[in-house]
Every structure is written in C-alpha cells, then in structure tokens.
Amino acid sequence: MIGVAVRPDRANAAADFFELFKTAWEPYVPGAASTVLVTDGTALAEAAGAVYILFSADEQPEDTPSARLPAELNRGRRVRTAAGSELPVYTACRVFKTAEQPMLSDLSGRVLAYTGTHSGRKVIRVGYDLFDEVAFLLSTGQPVDHAGTAALDRQIAFLRRCILHAGAPVVEIPPCPPGYPYMVCLTHDVDFVSIRQYGFDRTFAGFAWRALAGSLHRVLAGRFTWRQLFRNYAALLSVPLVHLRLVKDFWTQFDEYCRIEDPDRSTFFLIPFKNRPGENVPNANPGRRAARYDVEDIGAEAAALIEAGWEIGLHGIDAWHDAASGRLEQNRLHSVLGEKTCGTRTHWLCRDARTTGVLDQAGFDYDSSCGYNETIGFREGTSQVFRPLEAGHLLEIPLHIQDVALFYPVFLDLDEESAWNRCESVMEECKRYGGVVTVLWHMRSLAPERQWGGFYERLLARFRAEGAWIGTAHQTEVWFRKRRAVRIHLSNSSEDEQLIHLEGNAGVPVTVRVYHPVAHDDAGGPEYEDMVREPPAEIPAGRCTRAISRPFEKAKAE
C-alpha cells in the first residue's frame, strides 16, 4: 500500500493524480507505517516502512550537505530518466551535486533525482514537487512547444518506476477497457451545416477564394490532387443550384460521417442559438463566432442521429463563463431533441481559469474543450479523462487531434504526410501509456473546399487495425467514471499471501495489472501480469495469469 503525505493545499491534486495512476494508495495517517511513502516532505523518512520517495524543490533534512544546491525556477526544463525517456518539469527544480545512483538528469547532466538509503530505508529523492506539477498541468496546461509530450502520463510512469526500482510491486488498473490497447473518442464540431445560409457574404468569399486560388496553389505545391481541384471548382459552380435546392448542400455531411464511421459511433456538438457570437470572447474578430444555424434548424437530422446511436452534445456559446447560460443552452437542446445532453465543447475552445467550475455548476457530466487550436497534442499532459481540480462532478475529456490545427494555413498548415507523422506521434504516446485519443473533425471537413475526409478515413482505418476501443464522448466519460468508482486495497491472507481487493460496483470488468519489481527500462517497459475481474472481487496477488482478452461492450449508457 502506498501512503501519500502532502500539504493540505495539494491534497486535491494528489487525489486526482491517484485516480489517473489507479493503484492501491491511501492518505498517510501519522503513526502508521506505509510500505511505500510518497511525500512532499510533510512526513519524514522514519514514517516509511521500506521505501521513502520524497518530491520537493525545498531543502530537506535528508539532503546531505554535499548534495545541496539552490533551487531553480525553470518552467519547461527537460529532464531524462536513467533509461533515456524525456519529460518536461514546469515548477521549481532542485539539482544535486552528487548522487549515489542518478534517476533523473537535465540535458546538461545535472542530477534532479537519485536513489540512496536513510536509516535502513530505500530513499528516492526527487528535486521537484510532483503534486505542484500535477496542479500546474491540470490547471494551466503545457505550452505549445511541449504539446507532443504526455507529461503527466510520463510522471505516472516515473513514479511507478521509482517504486519498482526500490523493490516494491505495483498493482493498478490501466486506463482502457480489457482487451483494447487504447481508446478513441470521435467528435465533430458543427459550426456550419449549409452553404445556402451564407449567401454571397464574407464566409462565402473566403470559401470561394480557397476553392479557386487556394486549391490551385496547393496543386502546384504538390499538396492537392487535380481531382481535388476539379471537385472544388465543381462545388463552387454548383452553389446557385444549391440555393435553388436542385442539388444537395455539400456542407451538410451527417450522412457521410454515418457512412464512414459505422459500426462505430461519434458525438456531434451542436450550436444552441443562431446569430449569437457570445460575450467575453477572448479571440480576435469575435463577431465571426456567431453561427447561422441552431439546433432547431436541424432537429430532424439530430433526432435521427440519436435514434441510430450517435450522440448529440452542446457546442456552447456562453456556457464557458456563465453557469446560467450553460443551463439555458443545455435546455435549448433538450427542448428540441427531447433528450438531455450530457456534455459540452465550447465553440472556439474559449475558456479561462473559472470555466471548469462554471460548467460543473451548470450540471454537465463532461467537457471536451481542453486542447489546442494551433497545434495537436496533450495540453494537460495526459490522454486520460480526468476531473478538473475546480470541479466536483464534471470530467474532462482532453482534446488531442484537430483537423483545423493540422491543415489550416494560419496554424500548422501541414501536408498530409507531415500531418500523419504528427498524429502517429500522438497515437504512439497514447498506446504507450494508455488512455483515449480524442479526435475533432469538423462538419465541413469532408466537403469542398477542405476535402480532409480521406485523412479522417485513414485515421479510422488505423484505429480499427490496431484494435482500439472507439466510441462517443459520453461512452468514454462513462467508462472512466466507472473506473474511478473502483478502489484497490491490499491485505495479507492467513497463509501470508497478499490479496488484492477490488472494492466498489463499477458494473464493468477491469484489467488488474501487477508489475513486478524486476529489472526493466523505459524502452521495453516493466514486466507485468494481467487478469480481468469485475468488482467487487478478491484476487491472490501471487497467482495472476497472463492477459485475458475480454472486449468491453460499448453499449449506449442509459
């Protein structure tokens, strides 16, 4: 059992960290001896049974005089583990002049973590505060230049490695359903549903320019095919016929998404009110945020999607800064569709420090707005669904891959192969640490002039070939919420064999993974054994068998 001793203002961050690192832990109680004690210095080494892991940039009694150097504040410092894996550290760091056995070093070779002994106990001294890191990542998030690194997931891997290196086993529940390597959450922001609604205004002018000059430029640059060019020209020429309702509106792509996604399902986020740009918009040109449609205009299409198993969520306008507006916008969808929406993604990804608390107060089950507009990757440093520190019920489904960020000229502006390499990097990070890859593909992105549908189908083919779990945002939130409901407790049986107790009634099977304290490195990963059980259950820790594949049924949650 891991005991955790932190100062009161970091207790919330510690609790949520151990929902991500789903292992057997408990808050440290003075006088109790934990086999492994993880602390920021609140508890001394004498409180540990066998292993003492100290995360702090402050000088500690355990620091030998020869090892002490001043702490340095260096946000974004990159460090390496002994096995060569990198991770950024954003809060204050302490480096050490000497070390018995280095475990972390910065790129100039200075030691940030080392292994030693103190009063017969194994001590691992780390020169930053893990829970300050957690609070920073979940509240502020990573800068764009570190977006490709799942920093929080790597911190989990580093702590696991510390425990194993010290000779203690680790029992945990991985962050994906049994039988799957990782999860995928498919989502679509519906900002536009019909080119007919725009006439010959600024939006149409931008479309026409990109379809004509932009397409030709991309062909000449080798980034577009002649077939795509002619498709854009044909779409532009067909606009008068679209207005006369003689041909289908090519910006309406619900049917095409259903075709290419079936038998999997996704979430469509819909605008509640037309012609409302919203208030307090921090982005440039806030007037352009107003949509020309609202949910009532596509009520029949949305109802058909719900009937077929797709999900409708709220593409919120003012919900991100005002709880009353959030409830009003949610009720608007409910009144049209007859079904309560569970989650939201804010239009243009607007947010501030209050947003998660406001959405929590408004009564949403989940949000999926934490991501980048200008790039792809891990804004909060994780591929796991988490509870924001300011929330009580709300869960956050982080956004990882967005079409506009990949291809739009004002953002990354990548060709398809470069975009694929960036997406592969994100997918590999998720496969390595588990969790969910959340994909945003906008409604217009299958249509002229963007024509990003082939890339989206390529992503889907990759996910399916790798056996990923694929589902809606609500299904993703439900699975992680059930995982959070499980508790792991360890005890010894009468035969002195350790028992693993899964407590709670999640209603779904989970993988129980037992890592063994044997030699390993970050490249190959630690050795472990898996077994699948449905809580509540009692498992002899010494009798775990190899992985049992048991697919998770993606039934629509009631």
pLDDT tens string, the chain, 558 residues long: the values are 899 999 999 999 999 999 999 999 999 988 776 789 999 999 888 887 889 999 998 888 767 665 565 656 555 678 988 778 888 999 988 888 766 678 999 888 888 999 888 777 889 999 999 999 999 999 999 999 999 999 999 999 999 999 998 888 999 999 999 999 999 999 999 999 999 999 889 999 999 999 999 999 999 999 999 999 999 999 999 999 999 999 999 999 999 999 999 999 999 999 999 999 999 999 999 999 999 999 999 999 999 999 999 999 999 999 999 999 999 999 999 999 998 889 999 999 999 999 999 999 999 999 999 999 999 999 999 999 999 999 999 999 999 999 999 999 999 999 999 999 999 999 999 999 999 999 999 999 999 999 999 999 999 999 999 999 999 999 999 999 999 999 999 887 656 677 899 998 778 899 999 998 864 444 456 788 999 999 999 998 764 433 323 333 333 333
Is the same domain home to 35 and 150?
yes
Domain-embedded: residue 412: yes
What one-character DSSP code corresponds to residue 96? B
Domain-embedded: residue 6: yes
* Backbone Cα Rg of the chain: 25
Peptide bond into 263 cis (omega under 30): yes
> Looking at residue 96, what is its pLDDT?
85
Is the same domain home to 228 and 315?
no
Is the same domain home to 29 and 58?
yes
Is there a contact between 267 and 243 (Cβ–Cβ < 8 Å)? Answer: no
- Domain hosting 218: range is 196-250
Task: Name 538's bridge partners.
Answer: 501
| Interatomic CA distance for residues 175 and 197, integer angstroms | 43
Tokens of 246: 């003689």
Pick from 455, 479, 503: which residue ends a domain? 479
Tokens of 298: 């596509």
Domain-embedded: residue 9: yes
Is the same domain home to 12 and 49?
yes
What one-character DSSP code corresponds to residue 499? E
> Looking at residue 493, what is its pLDDT?
67
Is the same domain home to 205 and 226?
yes
Closest by CA to 250, choosing from 527, 447, 398, is 447
Domain-embedded: residue 130: yes
Collapsing DSSP states into helix, strand and coil, what is residue 241? helix
Buried b (16+ CB within 10 A) or exposed e, 161-195: bbbbbbebbbbbbbbbbbbbebbbbbbbbbbbbeb
Is the same domain home to 239 and 116?
no
Tokens of 178: 């049994």
| Interatomic CA distance for residues 5 and 53, integer angstroms | 10
What one-character DSSP code corresponds to residue 296? G
Is the same domain home to 86 and 204?
no
> Looking at residue 533, what is its pLDDT?
94
Pick from 439, 464, 479: which residue ends a domain? 479
Chain CA centroid to CA 137, Å = 12
> Looking at residue 120, what is its pLDDT?
78
Phi-psi region of 76 (alpha: psi -120 to 50; beta: other; left: phi over 0): left
Closest by CA to 432, choosing from 148, 113, 139, is 148
Is there a contact between 362 and 409 (Cβ–Cβ < 8 Å)? Answer: no
Is the same domain home to 233 and 159?
no
Cα-flanking dihedrals φ and ψ of residue 396, to 5°?
-110, 125
Domain CATH for 63: 3.40.50
Is the same domain home to 373 and 344?
yes
Is the same domain home to 356 and 437?
yes
Is the same domain home to 238 and 298?
no
Domain-embedded: residue 174: no
Q: In what order do the strands lie in the sheet with 537-540?
A: 487-492, 498-503, 537-540
Is the same domain home to 147 and 201?
no
For the entire predicted model, the pTM comes to 0.93
What is the SS3 string spanning 127-161?
CCCHHHHHHHHHHCCCCHHHCCCCHHHHHHHHHHH
Task: Name 530's bridge partners.
Answer: 513
| Interatomic CA distance for residues 304 and 254, integer angstroms | 10
Domain-embedded: residue 266: yes
Cα-flanking dihedrals φ and ψ of residue 512, to 5°?
-105, 120
| Interatomic CA distance for residues 344 and 329, integer angstroms | 10
Distances (CA, A) of 118 to 35, 115, 122, 129: 15, 10, 7, 20
Using CA atoms of 379, 384, 387, 388 in order, give the dihedral in degrees to the nearest 10. Answer: -10
Domain-embedded: residue 513: no
Domain CATH for 371: 3.20.20.370
Domain-embedded: residue 173: no
As for how many domains the chain has, the answer is 3
> Looking at residue 67, what is its pLDDT?
57
